[in-house]
Amino acid sequence: MSQQESDREEAKPSTKLWGGRFEQKTDSAVERFTASIHFDRALARFDVRGSIAHARMLHHVGLIAADDERAIVEGLEQIGREIETGAFSFDPALEDIHMNIESRLRDVIGPDIAGRLHTGRSRNDQIATDLSMYLRETAAAAERGIYELRRALTSRAREHLDTVLPGYTHLQRAQPVRLAHHWLAFVEMLGRDAARFGDLRARITQCPLGAGAMAGSTLPLDREHTAAALGFSEPTANSMDSVASRDLALEFLSTAAICMVHLSRISEELVIWSSAEFGFIELSDAYSTGSSLMPQKKNPDVPEIVRGKTGRVIGNLVALLTVMKGLPLTYNRDMQEDKEPIFDSASTLCDALEVTTGAIATLQVNVDAMARAASDAMLLATDLAEALVRLGVPFREAHEAVGRTVAHCVKNDLDLRSLSTQDLRGFHPAFDAPAAELATLDAALEGRSTIGGTARNTVVAALEVAESDNTRRMDELNRQKTSDPTGADPR
């Protein structure tokens, strides 16, 4: 090609659908660097829904004719089916999901009618709307996964109401507890995680569509119309905030990170408890793997990977916080970097919830190993001190006396429960009975009957509350899903 032919080629109108300002094609390296279609295709269904609502609103206010509205909606519905069946061809040269769908719409119904769809909107308010719908439905999916895990934990807790093991602080044996009480601790943590996702959904009530690029529109848009059509209660109140903010995304990433930390803590215990040194549980073969070299190994790979992926989800939160921290109002292209962290955290969390639920539901508990560990007499030292408190001894004084008693037993390899009344009086004169009467495993458990304690009746009551709460909230989510069957699967 001659230089003159090359100049003429460069002078041809741009192939960009929004490119009247440009005379040259985008450099191929820039196309690769700025393209987001390889990840934002996850928003395709939401983009189609938003575009249909926008087209209907445009006709509602008289900006497009009824025939144009019908053609646009039918074309978008066809594209939605193509996306759902995998027949849609995504083109990286078209940069993002919005332009891929609009380009296909031009093919389906012609450029003149398709060109009317973008009336009164920008990709800035379009992506904010897509993302809000995605977050709303993905938060609900995470909630469902959390409640499934809580159901598995409460089911196993009811099964092991009378299984006793040591509770730990600093990974040192501390006091005896029921296994049900231990697992209900995670039920409580996960309940707060689910509530945080529910709070997020309750905050995603305002629709950004109609905010335009950043200043609204001179056209007579009916923002309440599109908000209602997309399941929002009202339009966003400030056009600049509508396109400049990603705090809902940050809240999702924060909640996902906190939940993953809780899953990681569960996973850590599954790893430790399944070791030969503890031997408290055995993971199902379905949630374990072997060694490529050592045939005897049964590795807790599933909880280890959950524990490892937690770092990624935490990193995703930090990544978006870092992107947003220095951006002036309003939209900046940096904000394209919000989607990969969101999509990755969503799929990672939902997968982690699923495999953790399966691991908990199928593991075997070694009740005897837990009981042997719980028979450690030193777990009853606090009960011995509290026996003195009931006799009127100040707690600090009682604590010091029992500390000396414990040191004596350790030094002389004695069982704390073997000490007689006379032996105990050598450490404090207020002791009025032998240790075997003052500190027993049953009393240590049943005596802790205050709210939140490990006494059997207290644990049963807490379990019933958790089960009832779980059932109620699962029913609520299922009703919401039935009323809006287009819920997202973030995976």
Task: Report the half-sphere exposure of 257 (CA within 13 A, side-chain side).
Answer: 19
Report the range of poorest mean pLDDT among 2-16, 86-100, 162-176.
Answer: 2-16
Q: Is residue 197 part of a domain?
A: yes
- 67 and 104, same domain (yes or no): yes
Report the range of poorest mean pLDDT among 8-17, 117-126, 255-264, 459-468.
Answer: 8-17
101-110 mean pLDDT: 96
Q: What does the CA dihedral 236, 477, 189, 462 come to, rounded to 10 degrees?
A: 140
Burial (0-12, 13-18, 19+ Cβ within 10 Å), 16? middle
- 360 and 409, same domain (yes or no): no
Q: Is residue 363 part of a domain?
A: yes
- 381 and 343, same domain (yes or no): no
Q: Give 41-66 pLDDT, tens digit per residue.
A: 899 999 999 999 999 999 999 999 99
Amino acid, single-letter form, for residue 13: P
Q: Is residue 88 part of a domain?
A: yes
Distance CA 279, CA 368 (A): 10
Report the range of poorest mean pLDDT among 88-102, 117-131, 142-156.
Answer: 88-102
Distance CA 75, CA 105 (A): 6
pLDDT grade for 38, boundaries at 50, 70 and 90: confident
| Measured CA distances, 69 to 28, 48, 64, 211 (Å) | 35, 14, 7, 21
pLDDT grade for 104, boundaries at 50, 70 and 90: very high
Q: Is residue 153 part of a domain?
A: yes
CATH code at position 99: 1.10.275.10
Distance CA 475, CA 348 (A): 25
Q: Given this model, what pLDDT does residue 5 score?
A: 44
Q: Give 323-379 pLDDT, tens digit per residue.
A: 999 999 999 999 999 999 999 999 999 999 999 999 999 999 999 999 999 999 999
- 436 and 319, same domain (yes or no): no
Residue 299 has φ and ψ, to the nearest 5°, of -95, 140
Structure tokens at 436: 């075997």
Q: Given this model, what pLDDT does residue 19 score?
A: 59
Q: Given this model, what pLDDT does residue 345 score?
A: 98
Only one residue has tokens 């379905």, namely 286
Q: Is residue 1 part of a domain?
A: no
SS (H, E, C) the chain: CCHHHHHHHHCCCCCCCCCCCCCCCCCHHHHHHHCCHHHHHHHHHHHHHHHHHHHHHHHHCCCCCHHHHHHHHHHHHHHHHHHHHCCCCCCHHHCCHHHHHHHHHHHHHCHHHHCCCCCCCCHHHHHHHHHHHHHHHHHHHHHHHHHHHHHHHHHHHHHCCCCEEEEEECCEEEEEEEHHHHHHHHHHHHHHHHHHHHHHHHHCCEECCCCCCCCCCCCCCCHHHHHHHCCCCEECCCHHHHHHCCHHHHHHHHHHHHHHHHHHHHHHHHHHHCCCCCCCEECCHHHCECCCCCCCCCECHHHHHHHHHHHHHHHHHHHHHHHHCCCCCCCCHHHHHHHHHHHHHHHHHHHHHHHHHHHHHHCEECHHHHHHHHCCHHHHHHHHHHHHHHCCCCHHHHHHHHHHHHHHHHHCCCCHHHCCHHHHHCCCCCCCCCHHHHCCHHHHHHCCCCCCCCCHHHHHHHHHHHHHHHHHHHHHHHHHHHHCCCCCCCC
Q: Give 149-198 pLDDT, tens digit per residue.
A: 999 999 999 999 999 999 999 999 999 999 999 999 999 999 999 999 99
Per the annotation, the verdict on 291 as an active-site residue is: yes
Q: Given this model, what pLDDT does residue 484 score?
A: 55
Q: Given this model, what pLDDT does residue 482 score?
A: 63
Q: Give 272-307 pLDDT, tens digit per residue.
A: 999 999 999 999 999 999 888 888 889 999 999 999
From the CA atom positions of the chain, what is the Rg in Å? 31
Q: Is residue 489 part of a domain?
A: no
- 136 and 258, same domain (yes or no): yes
Structure tokens at 292: 């490529």
- 88 and 168, same domain (yes or no): no
pLDDT(6) > 50: no
240-268 mean pLDDT: 98
- 55 and 133, same domain (yes or no): no
SS (H, E, C) 231-274: CCCEECCCHHHHHHCCHHHHHHHHHHHHHHHHHHHHHHHHHHHC
Q: Give 402-445 pLDDT, tens digit per residue.
A: 999 999 999 999 999 999 999 999 999 999 999 999 999 999 99
Q: Given this model, what pLDDT does residue 40 score?
A: 84
The distance from CA 316 to its chain's CA centroid, rounded to whole angstroms, is 12
Q: Given this model, what pLDDT does residue 20 score?
A: 67
Structure tokens at 86: 């995998």
- 174 and 290, same domain (yes or no): yes
CATH code at position 472: 1.20.200.10
- 175 and 291, same domain (yes or no): yes
Catalytic residue among 2, 28, 89, 170: 170
- 218 and 322, same domain (yes or no): yes
Per the annotation, the verdict on 284 as an active-site residue is: no
pLDDT(490) > 60: no
Catalytic residue among 291, 420, 449, 468: 291
Q: Is residue 17 part of a domain?
A: no
Distance CA 124, CA 338 (A): 13
- 368 and 356, same domain (yes or no): yes
Q: Given this model, what pLDDT does residue 36 score?
A: 78
Residue 293 has φ and ψ, to the nearest 5°, of -120, -45
Q: Give 205-235 pLDDT, tens digit per residue.
A: 999 999 999 999 999 999 999 999 999 999 9
Rounded to the nearest integer, the mean pLDDT of the chain is 92
Q: Is residue 6 part of a domain?
A: no
User: Which structural domain range is residue 424 located in?
Assistant: 376-446
Residue ending a domain, among 52, 84, 114, is 114
Q: Given this model, what pLDDT does residue 426 score?
A: 96
Q: What total number of domains does the chain contain? A: 3
172-178 and 164-169 as β-strands: parallel, antiparallel, unpaired?
antiparallel
Residue of higher predicted confidence among 36 and 257: 257
- 289 and 415, same domain (yes or no): no
Amino acid, single-letter form, for residue 425: R
pLDDT(15) > 90: no
Residue ending a domain, among 114, 141, 166, is 114
Residue ending a domain, among 114, 140, 164, is 114
